[in-house]
Chain A
Amino acid sequence: MTGVTNSGILKGHAGIGKIVRGEALVASDNFSARYDLDRLKGVFSRPQHKLFGHSYVDKILILNAAKGGVASAWMLKEMVSRNMGPKALILNFANPIMAQGAAYADLPLLDRFEFDVTGFVENGDIVEVDPAAGTLTIVGEK
């Protein structure tokens, strides 16, 4: 793991995908595409999830850990193919399924920060994700 380089940049492990910039959707909860989402409507659909009812489409989705099953490996690209996916996925801890899904979908993915990434960014902040550098940068605060 690596750490914070200054107040606006959080450094993690090198990730997957291209540089993207967008609005953050953040919660200290976990993530599975099958368990948590209504992928046709583009919203969190599991009532117990902290983002229940929120749209994740085109957001930089920032959550704690990958949970659940293996379906996300296909589903991330399926969502992206319909322009109904998140713009990037940022987790404290990815699992292989999220890495495989991100690699297949060419969806930017970062994880393994020294500090809790869900406490670093606020909902609505504009952030930039640089997977090759392994950095998440706040470029505009809410």
Chain B
Amino acid sequence: MSIRLSSYEQEMLEGKFGWPRQFAMEQIVKVGNFFDAEDCVEIAQVHLMADTESLGEDGVLFLEKLAGYSEEQRQVKVPTVTDPRGIDFEHYKALGQSDAQAELEQRAIDAFRALGVMMTDTCINYQTIMPPVLGEHLAFGDTGSTIYANSVQGARTNFQGGPSALASALTGRAPRYGFHLDECRRGSKIFKVNDRPDDFAQWGALGGIIGRQMNSYWDVPVIELASLDQRPNSDELKHFGAALASYGSTPLFHMPGVTPESADGRVALVDNPQTMAAISKDDIDAFIEAYWPADDVVDVVVFAAPQLSLIEISAVADLLDGRQTHEKVAVIATVSPEVKSAADRMGVTAKFEASGALLLQGVCFYQMCAREIGEAKGWKRLLTNSAKLVNIIGGYGYEPVLASLENCVESAIKGRLVR
């Protein structure tokens, strides 16, 4: 059975409103039919992942083709904001990125502006731009923003990768399947967590442990914390969710007593949910330990993935205050333009960079052609407090190590892995 379209959607599909919207509806119909969607939902906002590493020349040419249509035919229908980009124009040369990469980035930006896309360049739009609300249908295109919006804010979106998010932006629609539907949001695997994680690396490790036990995109974990005396804050849930989404390709979790669809402690479950082995501090320690090498070499320390909140970058800057990073170790943090502006205004950037560390804005480390950066700079061993980054960056030729924020900073100062 094919997806049912309204007369307006059918007219878009037939090209009445120009090729960009026709292309967009074709994408929606193909994906909707693949997942047996009955019809479309109207969406409130779009978060668009389209870094130039992913786009390549081919993707940028496609955006430029869209941008060549009349304003009436090419402009997005709903507020559309961007995920991190691949180039910080102030610092790209120092990172070994090429002028050709910067030129490709600029072409993509110009095309997006012609479409009416807002260049927010952040993966934490749910903290810094316009937080979604309970029940709101969205088209979010970053795994971290999707899992946070679905789980912590109770909004409804599938993972919508770049072309799909763009299709939703051009039509104001998404196919109604998956996590737009009540039946897909029921918990399927129940995890009891005996010990509260102590820091972001441990929250990420917890997300990784659970993510590895997800069989597919459709599994929904329910995380029962042993105690709600000290609830996780937004940054802790951000690291937890980003890692869970990364290791599991998982767009939704429920945390009874914390997340809105189980705020009263009860959560809707599938008919035969699985009760999984309880997770303790030993499991979290073992997850982190598995990434530690036999030697103590470190080349680069990265705070990213997700971009840091103002609270996080302030904490890093405080730990570095009055100290110098080791000459053999590069230190990088990535933040959104909004957080960078606030950090500049509050003296956080000055404190951070006085140590020798580099604060990048509007980018995230793994979205910057990290393989080419590593080869240009001779970086192999990468230390971070982001479990998500640890999961991704191994495929780019790095040897990732996961540690607490404090041990990341101490390692950067001493020039060797510290714990």
A77 to B31, CA, bound (A): 15
Question: Are A35 and B162 interface neighbours, CB within 8 A?
Answer: no
Interface residues of A in 53-97 (CB under 8 A from B): 65-75, 77-78, 81-82, 92-97
B381 CB, nearest partner CB in chain A, Å: 14
Interface on chain B toward A: helix, strand, loop, or mixed SS? helix
A24 sits at the interface (CB 8 A): no
Our pick among A16, A46, A77, A101 for the contact of B395 (Cβ within 8 Å) is: A46
Q: Could you tell me how many residues of chain A have their Cβ less than 8 Å away from some Cβ of chain B?
A: 42
Give CA–CA (A99, B143) in the complex, Å.
15
Contact (Cβ within 8 A) B395 A45: yes
Minimum CB–CB distance from A39 to chain B (whole Å) comes to: 9
Taken together as a complex, chains A and B put the C-alpha atoms of A66 and B214 apart, in Å, by 11
- Would A104 and B27 count as touching, CB distance under 8 A? yes
Mark interface residues in B33-70 (1 if CB within 8 Å of A CB, else 0).
Answer: 11100000000000001110111111100000000000
CB contacts (< 8 Å) of B164 on chain A: these are: 73, 96, 100, 103-104
The answer to whether B75 has its CB under 8 Å from any CB of chain A is no
Q: Which of B153-161, B253-261, B273-281, B342-350 contacts A (4 or more CB under 8 A)?
A: B153-161
Chain A residues with CB below 8 A from B30, complex form: 16, 99, 103
- Knowing A71-B161, A103-B34 are in contact, say whether A93-B218 is a contact too (CB < 8 A): yes
Q: Which A20-47 residues have C-beta < 8 A from chain B?
A: 30, 32, 34-38, 45-47
Q: Are A65 and B217 in contact (CB under 8 A)?
A: yes
Chain A contacts for B216, CB-based, 8 A: 65-66, 92-93, 95
A73 to B27, CA, bound (A): 12
5 residue pairs, one from A and one from B, having the closest CB atoms: A73-B161, A81-B58, A95-B217, A78-B56, A93-B216
Among A16, A66, A74, point to the contact of B217 (Cβ < 8 A): A66
CB of A5 closer than 8 Å to a CB of B: no
Report how far A48 CA is from B141 CA in the complex, Å.
26
Bound Cα distance A87, B156 (Å): 33
A47 and B34 in contact, given A77-B58, A78-B58, A96-B160 (Cβ under 8 angstroms)? no
Is B248 located at the chain interface by the 8 A CB criterion? yes
* Known interface pairs A34-B392, A93-B217; A66-B249 also in contact (CB < 8 Å): yes
Contact check, A38 vs B371: say whether CB atoms are below 8 A apart.
yes
> How many interface residues does chain B have, given as a range?
35 or more
Report B-chain residues with C-beta under 8 Å of the C-beta of A72: 161
Cross-chain contact B394 with A46 (CB below 8 angstroms): yes
How many A-B contacts are there with CB distance less than 8 Å?
139
Inter-chain contact A68/B246, CB cutoff 8 Å: yes
Q: Are A78 and B249 in contact (CB under 8 A)?
A: no
Q: With both chains docked as a complex, state the minimum distance between the C-beta of B31 and any C-beta of chain A, in angstroms.
A: 5
Does B142 sit within 8 A of A, measured CB to CB? yes
A77: chain B residues at CB < 8 Å are 58-59, 163
Tell me whether A74 and B162 are in contact (CB under 8 A): yes
Known: A35-B392, A78-B59. A99 touches B31 (CB 8 A): yes
**Bound CA span A40–B28, Å:** 29
From B27, B53, B218, A103 is in contact (CB under 8 Å) with B27
Shortest CB distance A123–B (Å): 21
B355: Cβ under 8 A from any A Cβ: no
Expressed in whole angstroms, the minimum distance between the Cβ of A40 and any Cβ of chain B is: 8
Residues from chain B with Cβ under 8 Å of A94 in the complex: 34
Interface centre among B54, B217, B246, B371 (most CB of A within 10 A): B54
- Partner pick for B143 among A13, A14, A69, A74, CB 8 A cutoff: A69
B141 touches A101 (CB 8 A): no
Contact residues in B for A65 (Cβ distance below 8 Å): 215-217, 249
Do B394 and A48 touch (CB < 8 A)? yes
A97 to B160, CA, bound (A): 7
Contact with A along B376-400 (1 / 0, CB 8 A): 0000000000000001101111000
Residue of A nearest to B140 (CB): A70
Name the CB-closest residue of B to A68: B249
Expressed in whole angstroms, the Cα–Cα distance for A109 and B49 within the complex equals 22
Given contacts A35-B395, A37-B395, A48-B394, contact A97 B31 (CB under 8 A): no
Pick the residue among A13, A15, A70, A82 that contacts B159 (CB under 8 A): A70
Complex contacts, B34 vs chain A, CB 8 Å: 13-16, 94, 99, 103, 109
Q: Is B208 in contact with chain A by the CB < 8 A criterion?
A: no
| CB proximity of B68 to chain A, nearest CB, Å | 19
Interface assignment of B178: CB less than 8 Å from any CB of chain A = yes
B114 to chain A, nearest CB (A): 19
Among A36, A48, A74, A94, find the residue whose CB has the most chain B CB atoms closer than 10 A: A74
Query: Residue on B with the closest CB to A36?
Result: B395
Query: Could you say which residues of chain B place their CB within 8 Å of the CB of A93?
Result: 215-218
A131→B158 CA distance, assembly (Å): 23
Q: Mark B223-250, 1 if CB is under 8 A from A, else 0.
A: 0000000000000000000000111110
